[in-house]
Amino acid sequence: MCTLADENCMMNSWDDAFRHSKGVEQQQKTGFFNHNFQMEKHNFVTIADLSKEKIMYLIDMASEFEKHPNRELLKGKVVATLFYEPSTRTRLSFETAANRLGARVIGFSDAKASSVSKGETLKDTILMVSNYADVIAMRHSLEGAAQYASEVAPVPIINAGDGAHQHPSQTMLDLYSIYKTQGTLENLNIYLVGDLKYGRTVHSLIMAMRHFNPTFHFVAPKELAMPNEYKIYCREHDIKFQEHTAFNEKVIADADIIYMTRVQKERFSDLMEYERVKNVYILRNDMLGNVKENMRILHPLPRVNEIAYDVDDNPHAYYIQQAQNGLYAREAIFSYCLGITLDDIRADKTIIG
Ligand code: CP
């Protein structure tokens, strides 16, 4: 497990970090810092903040961007992507979204190549980058890092994944993908399969779906079972769920969505345990003979071996298109964070091509 010391955050604890953030807030109020602090800053740190109406609004925005992804809506803006953890899709689709909307992009994809390697704290890095950029998308191995950054930053923070905790921008593209393929988000049977303990995307998806009366099926070995806090969350929000350890044709027969996940090797403190569970569930083409016609297979990717390659050509496979939807969802998220409305997007005259 990562620690603050591993990350060179140099704070004694999150309590210290939050005390520092309060100090920063106070200094901002008294004008010590020369930041243009926005009182109604639109962070995108957790999906739990979003109402049903806001989710549908962002889906409508994504749909507008899918029709016309290339515009100059963000011309003159600078977007920062700070990735303390590896990424392909999230970073590149955020950067593509910024580029396709006319913004410029700064940032790092490897914190070791930044002054983090010299001991700069997360707080200082965020404050420095806030001097340069209008919005920051960040991924960090520590749960709560994006929340903390949003407390200290004068510019909006987008959580691009914090440890095993949350991945709200992934959830927006997952919701958009589900909506596109099912025509609704309401009353769906959603099977979450694999590493439900460390898989942050499934945690965020549960929270987002609370508005839409889903029935979740948690398919995981006991070592990777859905953590209790999310089962409690389901009970508190009247979300129906069943737990399974078997993964076969019969179990998935009534699925509308099968959401496969990778076993998150990087989160295990005991690699022997990873070795025991890494091949536990593999979705094969021959398991898809009796599935519902509307059923679609999602995966946040990257895949290791949990979806066999012969599934890729099956019409139920949707994970490559799902990643493409990330571009439109992230164009919507940047717009939301920078105060651009759906009406602005519909009235936009900067469309290119
Ligand atoms: N889905 C996802 O977060 O992929 P990356 O780790 O490649 O960004």
pLDDT band for position 61 (cuts 50, 70, 90) = very high
Are residues 339 and 280 part of one domain?
Answer: no
Mean pLDDT of the chain: 90
Q: Is 181's C-beta closer than 6 angstroms to any atom of ligand 1?
A: no
179-200 pLDDT, tens per residue? 999 999 999 999 999 999 999 9
107 part of a folded domain: yes
> Ligand 1: which atom is nearest the Cα of residue 93?
8
Q: Are residues 190 and 225 in the same domain?
A: yes
Q: Which of 162, 170, 330 to mutate to test the pocket of ligand 1 (most atoms within 8 A of CB)?
A: 170
Q: Considering only 4-8, 225-229, 293-297, which range has the smallest mean pLDDT?
A: 4-8
CB 170 within 8 A of CB 47: no
Residue 23 lies in a domain: no
Ligand 1 atom with the smallest distance to the CA of 161 is 3
Asked if the structure places residue 307 within a domain, the reply is yes
Q: What is the pLDDT of residues 215-271, one digit of tens each?
A: 999 999 999 999 999 999 999 999 999 999 999 999 999 999 999 999 988 888 888
Do residues 152 and 189 both lie within one domain?
no
188 and 281 both lie in a single domain: yes
Burial class (CB in 10 A: 0-12, 13-18, 19+), 159: buried
- pTM here is 0.88
Does the C-beta of 302 come closer than 6 Å to ligand 1? yes
Q: Which residue has the tokens 């520590």?
A: 142
Same domain, 186 and 154: no
Closest CA to ligand 1's atom 1: 300
**Cβ of 180 less than 6 Å from ligand 1:** no
Buried b / exposed e along 133-148 (16+ C-beta atoms within 10 A): bbbbbbbbbbebbbbb
**171 CB near ligand 1 (under 6 Å):** no
Q: Is the distance from the beta carbon of residue 87 to the nearest atom of ligand 1 less than 6 Å?
A: yes
Q: What is the number of other CB atoms lying within 10 angstroms of the CB of residue 48?
A: 12
| Ramachandran angles phi, psi of 240, nearest 5° | -75, 140
Q: What is the mean pLDDT of residues 289-301?
A: 98
Q: Are 329 and 58 in contact (CB under 8 A)?
A: yes
211 lines ligand 1 (CB under 6 A): no
80 and 175 in a single domain? The answer is no
Task: State how far the Cα of 10 lies from the Cα of 114, in Å rounded to an integer.
Answer: 15
Query: What tens digit of pLDDT does each residue of 73-85 get?
Result: 999 999 999 999 9
Res. 24: pLDDT tops 60: no
* pLDDT of residue 6 exceeding 80: no
Q: How far apart are CA 136 and CA 105, in angstroms?
A: 10
Q: Which amino acid is at 21?
A: S
Residues 177 and 320 in one domain: yes
Query: CB-based burial of residue 202 (10 Å sphere; 0-12 exposed, 13-18 middle, 19+ buried)?
Result: buried
Nearest protein Cα to ligand 1, atom 3: 90
Could you tell me if 65 and 153 lie in one domain? Answer: yes
User: H-type helices in the chain, by residue range?
Assistant: 14-29, 52-67, 89-100, 122-132, 145-152, 168-182, 200-208, 228-236, 271-277, 319-337, 342-347
CA 313 – ligand 1 centroid, Å: 22
Confidence of residue 36 (pLDDT cuts 50, 70, 90): very low
Q: How confident is the model at residue 44 (pLDDT cuts 50, 70, 90)?
A: very high
Average pLDDT over residues 306-320: 98
Whether residue 351 lies inside any domain: the answer is no
Same domain for 219 and 261, yes or no, is: yes
Residue 317 and residue 335 in one domain: no
User: 40 and 106 share a domain?
Assistant: yes
Evaluate whether residue 69 is within a structural domain.
Answer: yes
Task: For 290-330, give the DSSP string.
Answer: T--TT-EEE--S--SSSB-GGGTTSTTB-HHHHHHHHHHHH
Ligand 1 contact via 301 beta carbon (within 6 Å)? yes
Q: Which domain holds residue 44?
A: 33-166+326-346
Region 10-34 average pLDDT: 37
* CA-proximal residue: ligand 1, atom 4 (nearest): 89
CATH of the domain at 292: 3.40.50.1370
Q: State the burial class of residue 271 (Cβ atoms within 10 Å of its Cβ: 0-12, 13-18, 19+).
A: exposed
Query: In the structure, what pLDDT confidence band is assigned to residue 39 with cuts at 50, 70 and 90?
Result: low
- The identity of residue 117, as a single letter, is S
280 or 95, which is more confident?
95
CA of 110 to the centre of ligand 1 (A): 15
Q: Are residues 281 and 330 in the same domain?
A: no
Residue 72, in any domain of the structure: yes
Domain annotation covers residue 22: no
* Residue of 103, 233, 80 lying closest to 154 (CA atoms): 80
Domain count, the chain: 2
* pLDDT at residue 181, rounded to an integer: 98
pLDDT of residue 265: 86
User: What proportion of the chain, given as a percentage, has pLDDT over 90?
Assistant: 82
Other beta carbons within 10 angstroms of residue 303's beta carbon come to 17
Specify the pLDDT at position 353: 83
Is residue 21 included in any domain, yes or no? no
**Separation between Cα atoms, residue 144 and residue 347, nearest integer Å:** 37
Over residues 291-296, the mean pLDDT reads 98
